[in-house]
Structure formats: structure tokens, C-alpha cells
A and B are shown apart, each in its own frame.
Chain A
């Protein structure tokens, strides 16, 4: 059976006011696929994740994005999330005075409400949280702490992975999810992500090196330069890129 197209980006141009960063960008992701966008630091890869999640301050000047057949650009950030889009952030925000427990409960119930489901009772919620947090090596003490306040890079990414596990998105975007992680943390996050692969859920991994790809095997690797994809290949492209370095690779590709 053919899998459906989940995310379809057509001729997208976007950026911050007065500066176009993404130019004529095209990408289609089907259910179950793992796509990787690789490119040098500062090439504007993160702009793509910001535009997809609807972060204020980014402007779309051209093109369309459809997600599950709906016009993504017309949706609020919260509706995009509830519709099934999830971003593992490069720098998750710390929020004083809000415990992870409280935050997760609001997030989970927001999605349930959006889907017309009843809110979880306190015991149901605790059970769900416990089951998922054990898998990621997250202690009860960490859950009681304020959101990302005083968390190490690895702890923050584990908490992001927990949120993803709870919210069960259709498409998860990992924006430099491996930055600032040591090898152990990287393995935990990668295994958390792999656990969620069910043949339907799709992943878009945005990264500038291929460390994470040793643990999560991609279906497609795209090289991002000058605001769009200049070459697409399979997992071997990532290795080629790593061996040659971006500068030479991009020079060759553009010849």
C-alpha cells in the first residue's frame, strides 16, 4: 500500500523581514519516512523548522506548505502541534515556576481536547508519564523541577524526547537534536526516537554533522545550501558529505 504524503513544501521562500533565507524550497515527506537535511552552520536550516512550527518573526513570501492535506501556513502554532507536528528544539526554553509535570499535563490535555477526547484523570496521567519517563531514564525528581531550569544539554533533549513520546506526533522535526550531547545521551535520545518509529510516523532531521545518523538510519539525505536542496541521496550521501566537507561538496555539486 502506498503511504500518503504527510508534509508537502512547494516553492517556499521565507525568512526574517528584509532577508530571504529559504529560496524556492521543495520537499515532500511521506508517512513513515526519515528525511535528513544537512548543511553547514549558518545556512538557514533552522529557519525551515521555525517556519514549519509557526514561530513569530518569520515571514513566508512565496509558496505553500500542506500538512496532512491542510494548509499549514494558515494554522496557529498550537493547532500545528495538535494536528501532529512536533519540533525537538535546538535550545529548549527554560520556564521558571512551571514544573515539567504541570507543563506535560497541559500539553497532553490540550491535544486530547483538540481531538475531542476527555482529559486524563490524575492517576491515568501519572501512569502514562511514569511508563514513558522510565524508558528515557528520567527520574520523578526531574519531572518535579521547573521546565528546563538548570538542566544539562542531555537532560533537556531527553525531556524533549519525552514530550514527543507523550504527544505522539505524525511528523517530528529534530533541529540539531544532537548538539551538546555526549555519546550516552545521544544513544538515549536516538533510541527514544527509534521507539516511536512505527511505519507511519515520519521524521525530519536537521543537522550539520552525521553523528545522530549512526543511530537513526535515514531514507533520504538532502544537502541544503543557498536556501534550498541542492542534492538528494540515501544514507551514503551523509558519509560522502562528512568525508569531503561542506565547502568542497557544495562547490562540486554546483558545478
Chain B
């Protein structure tokens, strides 16, 4: 895999900030994680990432015949498209928003304070992302926006879409964002890192649909910093890809910072979905809540690793986590590792995890009203997953995720 990195030539090495970040990434990347690495012990990433996924340079498909521009949304949004790992740079003026490509923002040093704000040594795939740093968006929001932002990714065979997005919410800003990941049925890799910074009193609703092609690998890492009275709300539906790992790390850095990290994942056949969360309460009066629901059918494999960390002086904090999994076949399995790491004494924390089959009484109730077995199972699994999205305030986005189930 290290050899593979050697064969990749990247453009824009003339941008000093970009070149130096790539160097750091190369130094930190010691190869793909294996099952022996604790954070990856349930998810065999090495076995699914192949050299073939690096065989094509990121390339866009030429505008005329490209369908990736066509919106898949039934509501108005400011849309930005990535196709074959490339960003379509068509920016227009949006009140309250500053947007540019990552390259542009690095060459002007606008992006410098917001990039690489985590220890890349601890996140091998984010290190790889840094080594291959090229494409991405720099988004700075200073006022409440009139419409949600929609980031739509369409990847294709043999391409590694290596994307780094920086999303900055300034004091008092409010934004809603939905990301949609799709692609060909042939193998490719998406490796995306999002660095999100939420200033005092700002809030971000961050929704995501991971619906990658059936032979794709989807790796996502979000690093989110929340300052006083800031709020981060994340809702993820992960259903595509042969293997996916969606890792969310939230640092509640100042008093009254809040986070919601809800996830619904549903996989079948030979799919693997890994959901990893790490919420760090670093100041008093911070609050977090996680509702995670997973459905596994056939030979599918689910992984949930959720950590709540409460720092010694983070008194009066609340951290809650609830994970429930449905195993619809005898070959489906789920690995769960919840962790509470509490160093303060005056806190309210809870976590719970269950796994099982559909409730037989509920199933019979539906059938006794004439609904057939298949439909009844669908109603119940959909309802089960939907619990993760109940609190989404934007009804358009909520309906979009619910309909994608």
C-alpha cells in the first residue's frame, strides 16, 4: 500500500501549504489499519481496499453527458457536485456564505487555521487523505442561510475520491447541510475527511446519506469542534457500499456546547457498516445525545463503537447513547463496543445497547390486520430505523432521509 502511494503523482505541489500537509500525511501514514489495530478490530479495511481503486486519476465526466449534475433532491438547496472525485467549481454568490475550492483556500491561507486540527497519527485513513490532499471545499458561513447546502458526490470505477472539506460556522451562524454519496456499481473508494468548526452560538444541521455503489468502499471521518453555546446535529443514514466506516469525533470545547449524533444503518448481502463515534465533553454544562439504529440482513455485518469521554472539569454535563440492532437473519452479526470514560463526578450519563429480531407480537398485530409478512417486516424495520431521524427539524431533509430507507 505504501508502494501504491509512491506511484501517485499529485498536481498543485507548488502550493506550499498543500505540499507541506501532504508531506505530513505521508509521514504519518504507516499503511492501512489491520484487525490488530484496536479501533479497527471489527472492520477489516485492508481486505477491501485494492490497488485497482487507485488505478484511475480522479476525473470528471465532461459536462454534456454527465448526469451527476441532475439533482436528486425534491427541495431547493444550494447544490455543489463532486464527480469522479473532482469538484465542479461553479460558485455563485450566496448571502452569508464564502465558498472556494480547498486548493484556493490553502493558497490564500484562508484555510490554514481550520485544517489538520486533529492528530493524524491516530487516524490512518485521515493520514492517507492528508497524503493525497487535493480536492475539497472550503465553506465559511457567517449568517443564517436561506436554503440548505447540498453536497452531492458521484464516484466511479477505479477512482479514489480523496476529499477534504472544511466547514466553518462563524459566531451566531446557522446552516443546514445534506451530503449524498452515490456511484457506480463497480469498485471505487471514497475517503473523505470533514473538519467542522462551530463558533459561539452557531449551529449546524449535518445530514448525510451514504448510498455508495455495491462494490465501493466508503471511509469518512468528521472532526467537529464546538464552542460555547454552539450546536452540532448530525444525522446519518448509511446503507450503501460493500464496506463503510463513518467515524464522527465531536469535541465539545466550551460551556453549553451541544451535540446530537444519530445514525441509522441498514445492510444486507455481504455488506459491512461500521459506525464509530467519539464525543468528548471538555467543558462543564455540555450535552450530547446519540440514537443509533442498525438493521442487518443476510450475511451482513454491523459495527458500532461509541465512546463518551468526560474530562475532569466537565461537571454538570450530560451524555447519552443508545444503540439498538435488528438481526434479520441467523448469519447477520453486529459487534458493539460502547465506552464511557468519565473523569468528572457530577454528570448524567447513560448508554445502552440491544440486539434482536423483530418483535413477534408487533409482526402478528400487523398481519392480523391483513398486512402480509414482507410488508409488515418492512413497516417495522423502517419505523425502527426512523427513530434516529425523529428530531430533524427540517421536514424536507427528514422526508428525504426517510424516503431513502
Binding site for B on A (CB under 8 A): 53-56, 76-78, 80-82, 87, 89, 92-93, 95-98, 102-103, 106-107, 110-111, 114, 147, 163, 167
Contacts and interface: CB of A to CB of B under 8 A. Distances in A.
B362 A110 contact: no
B383 A77 contact: no
A78 B383 contact: no
Given A56-B360, A78-B373, A106-B375, A97 B384 contact: yes
B369 A163 contact: yes
A92 B368 CA distance: 11
B237 to A, nearest CB: 15
Contacts of B384: 96-97
Contacts of A110: 369-372, 375
Contacts of B368: 53-55, 77-78, 80-81, 87, 89
Interface in B329-386: 359-362, 364-373, 375-376, 379-380, 382-384, 386
A95 B369 contact: no
B383 A82 contact: no
Given A81-B369, A114-B370, A56 B364 contact: yes
A76 B380 CA distance: 19
Given A110-B371, A110-B372, 14 more contacts: A54-B368, A55-B364, A76-B373, A77-B364, A77-B368, A78-B373, A81-B368, A82-B370, A92-B365, A95-B366, A97-B386, A97-B387, A98-B380, A114-B370
Given A98-B383, A106-B375, A93 B361 contact: yes
26 contacts: A54-B368, A55-B368, A56-B360, A56-B364, A78-B367, A78-B370, A78-B373, A80-B368, A81-B367, A81-B368, A96-B383, A96-B384, A97-B382, A97-B387, A98-B383, A106-B375, A106-B379, A107-B369, A107-B370, A107-B371, A110-B370, A110-B372, A110-B375, A114-B370, A163-B369, A167-B370
B370 A93 contact: no
B281 to A, nearest CB: 29
A-B pairs with lowest CB-CB distance, top 9:
A97-B383, A81-B370, A107-B369, A110-B370, A93-B365, A77-B367, A82-B370, A98-B383, A78-B367
A167 B369 contact: yes
A114 B372 CA distance: 10
Count class of interface residues, chain B: 20 to 34
Contacts, number: 75
Interface of B: 359-362, 364-373, 375-376, 379-380, 382-384, 386-387, 390
B375 A95 contact: no
B369 A96 contact: no
A106 B371 contact: yes
Contacts of B365: 89, 92-93, 95, 147
Given A56-B360, A56-B364, A95 B380 contact: yes
Contacts of B364: 55-56, 77, 93
B202 to A, nearest CB: 31
Contacts of B380: 95, 98
A149 B368 CA distance: 18
A78 B379 contact: no
Nearest to B376: A78
Candidate in B361, B369, B371, B386 with the most chain A CB atoms within 10 angstroms: B369
A122 to B, nearest CB: 15
A96 B383 CA distance: 7
A191 B380 CA distance: 32
A72 to B, nearest CB: 13
